[in-house]
Amino acid sequence: MENKKEQTTIVLFSGDLDKAIAAFIIANGAAAYDHDVTIFFTFWGLNTLRKDEVVHVKKGFLEKAFGWMMPRGAKKLGLSKMNMMGMGPEMIKHVMKKHNALSLPQLIELAQEQGVKLVACTMTMDLLGLKQEELLDGIEYAGVAAYLGDANQAKVNLFI
């Protein structure tokens, strides 16, 4: 089988709602192009993968503080512009619904359904005190070498 699939990779560094939406729309589009798609989540991007509910895991004081200060999951992300104490995201969600655009949680579900590989950066998980139990099921855990392995084969590599 020489017929290898094309690849696309995205690094999602940002934890902003608008940027995460853009990343997932591109990822889903690339999957529809029949590419093997990887999204590598690092730093604030990891918050996109957090489960909505509080997961009880053993943590130190600083890790706990980070956990409370950062948005808990895709529904809680703020906008990069016009956040207005959380009013911005609600407005965006409203207009997205009006225009029949998928919400971020729906885009994530669609990506998983389409076989997009979601990879959490373990080094930054340690820095921010995030544990595997707190992140969505069905994702992978890796570091920069695994990302570069994928990116090396890909023609489209984005940092968002």
Partner 1 sequence: MKADLFLDAKDLACPMPIVRAKKALDSLEPGQIMEVHTTDKGSLLDFQAWVKQTKHEMVSHEEENGIYKFLVKKV
The footprint of partner 1 (CB under 8 A) covers: 25, 28-29, 31-34, 99-102, 110, 114
Give the C-alpha separation, 154 to 122, whole Å. 22
Q: Based on CB atoms, which residue is closest to partner 1, 28 or 47?
A: 28
Query: Alpha-carbon distance 74 to 76, whole Å?
Result: 6
Q: In whole angstroms, how close is the CB of 48 to partner 1 at the nearest point?
A: 17
Beta carbon of residue 1, minimum distance to partner 1 (angstroms, whole number): 17
CB of 99 to partner 1, least distance (A): 5
CB nearer partner 1, residue 29 or residue 86: 29
Q: Among residues 160, 120, 127, which one has the least CA distance to residue 143?
A: 120
CA distances from 24 to 51, 139, 145 (A): 17, 15, 22
- Report the residue number, 32 or 82, with the smaller CB distance to partner 1: 32
Where helices occur in the chain by DSSP H, the ranges are 17-32, 61-69, 87-98, 104-113, 122-128, 144-153
Question: Minimum CB separation from partner 1 for residue 28, in Å?
Answer: 5
Pick between residue 23 and residue 125 the one whose CB is nearest to partner 1.
23
